[in-house]
Amino acid sequence: MTTRLLFVCLGNICRSPSAENIMNHLIQRRQLADQVMCDSAGTASYHVGSAPDRRMAQAAKAQGIELVGRARQFVAADFGRFDYILAMDRQNYRDIVALDPTGQHHDRVRLMCEFCRTHPDQEVPDPYYGGVEGFNYVISLLQDACEGLLDHLLDQPVTT
C-alpha cells in the first residue's frame, strides 16, 4: 500500500515544493518509491502554474536536491486523495481545515514541524521576503522534518 503525502504552504513555490522534493530525494535514497508518493500545493492561488522560487531552488541545489514541479492550489478533494496533509505553519493548517467543515478529515492534517528531530521550530518560516540565510535555514529545517516524517511512516503498522 502506498502512503500519499501532500505538503502545503501559502503559495506552493517555496516551502511545500521544497518539502516534496526533499522527501522524494529521501524516498529514492532509501529505495521506497513504491511505498510513498508526494505532492505539494498552496492554500492561495497566487502562483498557480509557477516553478519553485529560484532562491529556494538554489538553496536546495546546494544540498544536492533539485526542485521540480509547478504550483497548484489545495482543493477540498485533496482530503480524499492523501493520507497525510502537512501544513507548513498554523495559518496554513487553519486554512486547510476550514475546507473540511464537518471535521471528518482533520486527523489527516498535521504541522510539518511535528516531525522535526533536532530543530525546535513549531512552524516552517516563510523565507519569501528574506535573504539567502532564510532559504538555507528552511532547507535544513525541512530535511530534519522529512527525515522524521519518513521514520514515522516506516514505524507505522501496514494496513490494507
Predicted confidence at residue 160, as pLDDT, reads: 46
Low-confidence ranges of the chain (pLDDT < 70): 157-160
Long-range contacts (CB closer than 8 Å, 24 or more residues apart) made by 137-142: 138/14, 138/15, 138/18, 138/56, 138/59, 139/18, 139/22, 139/56, 139/59, 139/60, 139/62, 139/63, 139/65, 141/113, 141/116, 142/15, 142/18, 142/19, 142/22, 142/112
* Signed CA dihedral, 71, 118, 93, 157: sign only: positive
Q: What pLDDT is attached to residue 156?
A: 82
Catalytic positions are 9, 15, 126
pTM: 0.96
